């Protein structure tokens, strides 16, 4: 297949991974722990978006027939869904992460309790909205054509939009982290929470901020991916969690541009696997991951690991 088509395929795949990984990496950089409820918040964001654009809950959940009395345009519904998701993420931080942090417990425990939070969320969604799929109408991108032709190769417009928004979010996030006071404070907390506290930075507040932003990113990503592939059900976002782990490691755990880069690279790697071997596609992604860990654990753009004595 022509190179351009392969590149477009890879970027199309990678855009979604990158979007998912952006929020994922933020929590890791600040707390050093993987937040296993991220996929559930991502899913929640998609459902919030659906309800905010005027969608109606199907017949099978407890909220059967629910429909908000207003229908917002997608561009407005998306950030609002992001805000709602941010609130949920803050709740999860309060219940699953903070008590453990206050006791100085092993970060492993937070992993498990975040898993529990994820399980609760997903099953709650099923209880309330049922197991069926929900559509974000295709006509949402009304004026744009369904696909674009770039250099003779075709790519779906919505995927280009995803990539554009991911890039925008990345730029905004990076600018904020490097340029603003709170962003720099966040970086300080992620390097060493105790020292940051001693320097007068409210570590707890920064951690809450990180979770909030991460939740917002998850929610917005969920809504966007829901636009692209519809909302398949409560387990909609869970399958991204594992690949996103690979993205994080490749890009460098804790590096925001790394998450983007890692996502695109893994997307490209998958796209370049020839069709006859497509069954091995996943093995390529994980093989990559494994190799990077063994050769260069800090990933492409991460901080080098040091051993404390």
Partner 1 sequence: MDAALLEQMLLGALLALSVYLPLRCGQLSLATPGFYAIGGTVAALLSTRIPAFAGTGASSPLPALLLEMALAGLLAGLLALAIGGTVLRLRGIYLAIATIALVEILRVITLNLPFTGGALGIFGIPQPFAGASGYAGFTLVLLAVVCWLCSRLEQLRLGRAMAAIRDDELAASCVGIDTAAVKLNAFVLSALLAGLTGALAAHFLNSWNAKLGSFDASITTLAFVVFGGSRTWLGPVIGGLLLTALPELLRPVGDLRLIVFGLVILLGPVLFPQGLITPQRLQGLGQWVAALGQQLRVRISGVRRP
Partner 2 sequence: MEGFGLCARRCTALGLGWLASALTLGGCDGPDPARKPVNLSQGVPLGAVLAMSGNANVYGQDQNTGLSLALAELNGKGGINGKPLALKIEDSGSDEPGANAAFNLQINRGVLALIGPTLSQQAFSADPIAQRRGVPVVAPSNTATGIPEIGPFISRVSAQSSVIAPLSIAKALQLHPQIRRAAVFYAQDDAYSSAETTIFQKALTARGLKPVTVQRTQLNDQDFQSQISAALQQKPDLVVLSLQAVDGGNMIRQLRELGYKGVIVVGNGMNTPNIYPICQKYCDGILIAQAYSPELRSAANTTFLRRFQAREGGAIPPQLTAQAWTALQVLAEALQRLDRRQPLQQTNLAEARKALMAELLSGTYQTPLGEIRFTPEGEVIQKDFFVAQVRMDASGKSGRFALLP
Q: Which residues make up the interface to partner 1 (CB under 8 A)?
A: 32-34, 36, 95-96, 99-100, 103, 105-113, 115-121, 123-124, 127, 242, 245-246, 249, 253, 279-280, 282-283, 286-287, 289-290, 293-294, 297, 305, 307, 309
Q: How far is the CB of 280 from partner 1 (least distance, A)?
A: 6
Q: Specify which residues 158 forms β-bridges with.
A: none
User: How many C-beta atoms lie closer than 10 Å to residue 277's C-beta?
Assistant: 10
Q: Should residue 282 be labelled a site residue for partner 2 when binding is judged by CB under 8 A?
A: yes
Q: Should residue 139 be labelled a site residue for partner 2 when binding is judged by CB under 8 A?
A: yes
Return d(Cα 215, Cα 264) in angstroms, integer: 22
| Partner from partner 2, partner 1, none contacting 290, C-beta within 5 to 8 A by type | partner 1
Contacts of 25 (CB under 8 A, 6+ apart): 248, 251, 253, 254, 255, 256, 258, 259
Count of residues near partner 2 by CB under 8 A: 45
Q: Should residue 264 be labelled a site residue for partner 2 when binding is judged by CB under 8 A?
A: no
Radius of gyration of the chain (CA): 19
Q: What is the DSSP letter of 161?
A: H
Give the nearer residue to partner 1 in terms of CB position, either 95 or 300.
95
| Partner from partner 1, partner 2, none contacting 130, C-beta within 5 to 8 A by type | partner 2
Would you give the end-to-end CA distance of the chain in angstroms?
Answer: 52
Q: Should residue 60 be labelled a site residue for partner 2 when binding is judged by CB under 8 A?
A: yes
Compute CA distances 66 → 63, 126, 136, 140, whole Å: 6, 14, 16, 21
Q: Should residue 131 be labelled a site residue for partner 2 when binding is judged by CB under 8 A?
A: yes
Q: Should residue 155 be labelled a site residue for partner 2 when binding is judged by CB under 8 A?
A: yes
Question: Left if phi > 0, otherwise alpha if psi is -120 to 50, otherwise beta: which for 152?
Answer: left
Compute CA distances 271 → 57, 167, 285, whole Å: 36, 20, 11
Q: How far is the CB of 75 from partner 2 (least distance, A)?
A: 20
| Partner from partner 1, partner 2, none contacting 229, C-beta within 5 to 8 A by type | partner 2
Return d(Cα 12, Cα 224) in angstroms, integer: 13
Give the nearer residue to partner 1 in terms of CB position, either 35 or 49.
35
| Partner from partner 1, partner 2, none contacting 12, C-beta within 5 to 8 A by type | partner 2
Q: Should residue 137 be labelled a site residue for partner 2 when binding is judged by CB under 8 A?
A: yes
Give the nearer residue to partner 2 in terms of CB position, either 94 or 154.
154
CB-based burial label for 50 (10 Å; 0-12, 13-18, 19+): buried
Q: Which residue, among 9, 10, 3, has the nearest Cα to 151 in the 3D structure?
A: 3
Give the nearer residue to partner 1 in terms of CB position, either 12 or 37.
37
Q: Specify which residues 150 forms β-bridges with.
A: 153
Return d(Cα 90, Cα 19) in angstroms, integer: 20
Q: Should residue 159 be labelled a site residue for partner 2 when binding is judged by CB under 8 A?
A: yes
Binding residues (CB under 8 A) for partner 2: these are 1, 5, 8-9, 12-13, 16, 59-60, 123, 126, 130-135, 137-139, 146-147, 153-157, 159, 225, 228-235, 239, 270-271, 275, 278-279, 281-282
């Amino acid at each position: 297949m022509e190179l351009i088509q392969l590149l477009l395929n890879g970027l199309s795949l990678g855009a979604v991974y990158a979007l998912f990984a952006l929020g994922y990496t933020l929590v890791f950089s600040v707390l050093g722990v993987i937040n296993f409820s991220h996929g559930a918040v991502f899913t929640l964001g998609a459902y919030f978006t659906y309800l905010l654009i005027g969608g109606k809950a199907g017949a099978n959940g407890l909220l059967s027939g629910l429909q908000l009395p207003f229908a917002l345009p997608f561009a407005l519904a998306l950030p609002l869904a992001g805000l709602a998701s941010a609130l949920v993420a803050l709740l999860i931080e309060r219940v699953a992460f903070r008590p453990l942090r206050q006791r100085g417990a092993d970060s492993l425990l937070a992993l498990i309790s975040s898993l529990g939070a994820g399980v609760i969320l997903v099953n709650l969604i099923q209880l309330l909205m049922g197991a069926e799929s929900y559509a974000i109408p295709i006509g949402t991108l009304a004026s744009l054509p369904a696909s674009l032709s770039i250099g003779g190769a075709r790519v779906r417009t919505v995927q280009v939009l995803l990539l554009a928004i991911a890039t925008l979010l990345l730029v905004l996030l990076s600018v904020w982290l490097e340029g603003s006071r709170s962003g720099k404070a966040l970086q300080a907390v992620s390097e060493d929470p105790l020292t940051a506290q001693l320097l007068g930075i409210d570590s707890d507040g920064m951690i809450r901020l990180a979770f909030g932003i991460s939740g917002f990113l998850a929610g917005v990503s969920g809504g966007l991916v829901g636009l692209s592939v519809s909302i398949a059900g409560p387990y909609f976002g869970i399958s991204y969690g594992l690949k996103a782990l690979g993205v994080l490691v490749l890009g460098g755990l804790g590096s925001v541009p790394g998450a983007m880069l890692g996502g695109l690279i893994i997307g490209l790697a998958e796209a370049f696997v020839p069709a006859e071997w497509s069954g091995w596609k996943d093995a390529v992604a994980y093989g990559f991951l494994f190799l990077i860990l063994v050769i260069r654990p800090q990933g492409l753009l991460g901080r080098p690991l040091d051993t404390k004595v």
